[in-house]
Amino acid sequence: MLKAAASAVDTGHRFHAAVFLSEVRYDGDKLVLTLTCPDEVQQAVTTFTEVVGFRLLDEGNLLEFWPRCAADHGWLFEISENGWFAQESLRSGFLSSDAPGITEYFVVSTNDCLNVVAGARPTVEIHAV
């Protein structure tokens, strides 16, 4: 198994306690993820547009992302090699493999993790809960 190459995305905010994925909402136009940190009484609302696809899995099924994408390195990562997008690109039926400007992101939480393949950089808003 090849390890994913990842770099933390600078969101302007770093959580110092456990973060939980509390909401996933996709309306066909945008994907909105809400991550909640009860100990810090804060939420990060992360919005992706130009979404090609996304998947949600327990971290135990995503060992190629550890330890680089462990929570002590951040909660939002950009994946440059050996991630889900690379896996999908091996399929002949995956038409987005050669599309320009596509990036894979990886969202880490205590309960679940998400891979998001999108054509635009996500926006992040931090709110008090």
pLDDT at 34: 97
Claim: this prediction has a pTM higher than 0.95: no
Instruction: Provide the β-strand partners of residue 23.
Output: 34
Model pLDDT, residue 126? 94
- The confidence score (pLDDT) of residue 80 equals 94
Asked if residues 89 and 97 have their Cβ atoms less than 8 Å apart, the reply is yes
Given a contact cutoff of 8 angstroms between Cβ atoms, the answer to whether 48 and 114 are in contact is: no
Give the model's pLDDT for residue 89.
82
The confidence score (pLDDT) of residue 114 equals 96
3-state SS string for the chain:
CCCCEEEECCCCCCCCCCCEEEEEEECCCEEEEEEEEHHHCEEEEEEEECEEEEEEECHHHCHHHCCCCCHHHCCEEEEEECCHHHHHHCCCCCHHHHCCCCEEEEEECCCCEEEEEECCCCEEEEEEC
CB 102 within 8 A of CB 86: no
pLDDT, tens digit only, all 129 positions of the chain: 689 999 999 998 889 899 999 999 999 999 999 999 999 999 999 999 999 999 999 887 787 887 788 888 889 999 999 998 888 888 888 877 778 889 999 999 999 999 999 999 999 999 998
- Check residue 66 and give its pLDDT: 79
